[in-house]
Structures are given as structure tokens and as C-alpha cells.
Amino acid sequence: MVRAPEIDKVDVHLSFCPGDIVRALVFSFGDARAYYLSTATNELGVISAQSNAGATMVPVSWTEMKCTLIHQIEQRKVAKVAS
């Protein structure tokens, strides 16, 4: 699960990218080759990412992160930062 209230509406490729560091909950160990993860709560999701330009990204909302180099916005399922 990516987002609890929108289970059928989520495009995983718009929520995560290869190389993202994601905080997730393991809810099943599956078999010897697979783990099942959930990011369905606000505290779970991308916590660190690099943009397509190779720069660090910062969260701008719960669905977007912004490149610190070229200021391009990319979609992610962003984890809520504890305040």
C-alpha cells in the first residue's frame, strides 16, 4: 500500500524512484525473495531523494519534492517530517 485512502488511484512510479530512501513498514515477509511494504501513513514515504539532475531534493508538499540545483519539482510520496 502506498496511500491508505487512495489504494486504487496511486501510480507507484509517481510515488518513488530508484535510489530514493524510503521509510516503510514491513507488513509481510512474503517468501524468500519478497517483502511486502506499506507507506500508507503520513509518517511513511520518501525521506531522501536525488533529482534527475543529481542534486539533493527537499520536500515542498506531501506529494512533491524540489531539486535544490535546478528547482524542478518531481512527484513523490513524501514522509511527514516530525516537528
Q: CA-to-CA distance for 73 and 83, rounded, in angstroms? A: 23
Q: Where are the domains of the chain?
A: 12-75
Q: What is the mean pLDDT of the chain?
A: 87
What is the sign of the dihedral through the CA atoms of 9, 13, 17 and 21?
Answer: positive
Residue 28 has which C-alpha cell?
A: 509481510
Residue 33 has pLDDT above 70, yes or no: yes
Residue partners of 34: CB distance under 8 A and separation at least 6: none
Region class of 30: left (phi > 0), else alpha (psi between -120 and 50), else beta: left
| CATH of the domain spanning 12-75 | 2.40.50.140
Q: What percent of the chain has pLDDT over 70?
A: 86
